[in-house]
Amino acid sequence: MNRLKRFFKWMTILTLSFVSLLVLVVAVLNWRASREVEARLAPLREAEKPTSISDLKPLPVADSDNAAKAIEPLEELCRELDSQLAKAIYQKDTDEEYEAALIGLARTIATDHPELIPSLKKAFALPEFQPDYEFDLSPTAFMDNVLQQNRSVRMVARVMHGHGLMSLEDGETDEAIADALSVLKWSGHIANQPLLVNYLVSAAVRSQALDLASRCLVADNSSPQMRTQLIDALERSDLQKQFDQSIESERAFGISSFESFALFRFQVMVGELSAYLDMVDEFKLIVQRPTGVAPKQPETSSMFAASTWPAFETGLAALRRSQAKSQAILILAAWQDQGSDVTTKVADLRLPASITLDPFDGSQMKLKATKDTVVVYSVGQNLTDDGGKLAGELDVGVGR
């Protein structure tokens, strides 16, 4: 009996000793992992780069300067109009049918809600845009918060786009240019918000503005003053800077996502975090190049890095499309200014390389005569010259 007691006593001592040793080993590994995490994040913090969702919180602005506050009273009406549009385009397949429905909605707005467009233009022109994001949420909840806000920004952009299409149809090209400028400003507001998903929304909204802008140039009956305003706005747009800011915020979101894991400070997660940060660095080097798209997979190998790479790749493709369309419009404007000769080549226009260099593959942007007009385009994401086929964005550009 005494022997059995001694046995259990020693087993208890050994078990406690083993558990104590295990706790000590885990504590040491945890300490080492924490130091490695801090070593990776320290350079970002020293450079004053955001490393968490809370770091993305901007300084407060006055409601009178905040476009998000200005559109709040208009959101319910815009939601109702958006619902009307959804019913009007139900089972409609073509772009022409969609535009017809959008113009029809714009005419309804002009008759029943004449105050809406002036109110939206006033809101879009405000210097700041700060939606009510909650920066103390978990990563998943914060993403949901951002996506909820995106519904409003898309709705108001559609309303303004429809008004621009209606103005063009009615021959009011200056008014359509004013609408295009408003949507461009709105796109910039969205691009300045955190996360890649906001950048992708801003790129889609900018595409609507560029569509209006190109049609206004094709109409060729705007006033010199409005035409100059449009060209100046396109030349001033710093699309690269907007995208860089988006990548910085997405990295901060990724770091917060790692920190939300219960085992974050363990060595295996530290390795994943390091790989993720290396992947972002790899991507930023690609983005710094004036042209080109991202490869399908990063060189950095890890589960998390590989799963997030497609979002970065999509964002860069959206940037290149925005650049290509903007440059194509500026080339079209220069072509018009220099006589609208269908035999003219891009090189003949003597424009800077920042405008003539194809953002997708680094070749020269294309200017192709089609009967008595031209198409200005980039080779697009497939990196193949499809002869100016803009449908489906095989090539990316504008047609006169």
Q: Are residues 272 and 182 in the same domain?
A: no
Q: Are residues 293 and 224 in the same domain?
A: no
Q: What is the pLDDT of residue 15?
A: 62
Q: Are residues 89 and 175 in the same domain?
A: yes
Structure tokens at 124: 């879009």
Span between the terminal Cα atoms of the chain, in Å: 101
Q: What is the C-alpha separation between 2 and 306, in angstroms, rounded?
A: 61
In sequence order, the 6+-apart residues with CB closer than 8 A to the CB of 293 are 313, 316, 317, 320, 360, 381, 383
Q: Is residue 223 within a helix (H) or strand (E), and if so which, with residue range?
A: none
Among the candidates 219, 241, 263, a domain finishes at 241
Q: What is the C-alpha separation between 302 and 272, in angstroms, rounded?
A: 6
Q: Are residues 227 and 169 in the same domain?
A: yes
The domain in which residue 68 lies consists of: 53-241
Q: Are residues 201 and 125 in the same domain?
A: yes
Residue 194 has pLDDT above 80, yes or no: yes
Q: Which amino acid is at 32?
A: R
Cα dihedral 91, 206, 338, 175 in deg (nearest 10): 80
Q: Are residues 93 and 209 in the same domain?
A: yes
Q: What is the pLDDT of residue 25?
A: 44
Q: What is the C-alpha separation between 202 and 194, in angstroms, rounded?
A: 11
Collapsed DSSP state (helix, strand, coil) of residue 368? strand
What total number of domains does the chain contain?
2
Average pLDDT over residues 185-205: 95
Q: Which amino acid is at 307?
A: S
Instruction: Find, among 312, 320, 318, 314, the residue nearest to 289 by Cα.
Output: 320
Q: Are residues 168 and 294 in the same domain?
A: no
Q: What is the pLDDT of residue 168?
A: 95
Average pLDDT over residues 83-103: 86
CA 304-307-312 angle, 5° bins: 110
Q: What is the pLDDT of residue 5?
A: 61
Contact 305, 279 (CB under 8 A): yes
Least confident of 254-258, 265-269, 384-388: 265-269
Task: Confirm whether 355 is domain-assigned.
Answer: no
Residue 146 has pLDDT above 50, yes or no: yes
Q: Are residues 79 and 100 in the same domain?
A: yes
Average pLDDT over residues 362-379: 89
Long-range pairs of 386-393 with CB within 8 A, sequence gap ≥ 24: 393/321
Residue 309 has pLDDT above 70, yes or no: yes
Among the candidates 289, 308, 327, a domain finishes at 308
**Helix then strand then coil, % of the chain, to nearest 5:** 70, 5, 25
Q: What is the C-alpha separation between 280 and 125, in angstroms, rounded?
A: 34
Q: Binning pLDDT at 50, 70 and 90, where does residue 271 land?
A: confident
Q: Is residue 359 within a helix (H) or strand (E), and if so which, with residue range?
A: none
Residue 366 has pLDDT above 80, yes or no: yes
Q: What is the pLDDT of residue 29?
A: 43
pLDDT in tens, 279-293: 999 999 999 998 999
Q: Binning pLDDT at 50, 70 and 90, where does residue 22 land?
A: very low
Q: What is the C-alpha separation between 354 and 359, in angstroms, rounded?
A: 9
- Which residue would you say has higher pLDDT here, 265 or 88? 88
Q: What is the C-alpha separation between 243 and 190, in angstroms, rounded?
A: 11
Q: What is the C-alpha separation between 158 and 102, in angstroms, rounded?
A: 8
pLDDT in tens, 217-243: 999 899 999 999 999 999 998 999 999
Among the candidates 241, 262, 282, a domain finishes at 241
Q: Are residues 144 and 225 in the same domain?
A: yes
Residue whose pair of structure tokens reads 């994401």 in the numeric block: 381
Q: Are residues 174 and 259 in the same domain?
A: no
Contact 156, 186 (CB under 8 A): yes
Residue 75's CB is within 10 A of a number of other CB atoms, namely 14
Residue 1 has pLDDT above 60, yes or no: no
Model-wide pTM > 0.85:
yes
Q: What is the C-alpha separation between 380 and 397, in angstroms, rounded?
A: 9
Average pLDDT, the chain: 87
Residue 132 has pLDDT above 70, yes or no: yes
Average pLDDT over residues 123-148: 93
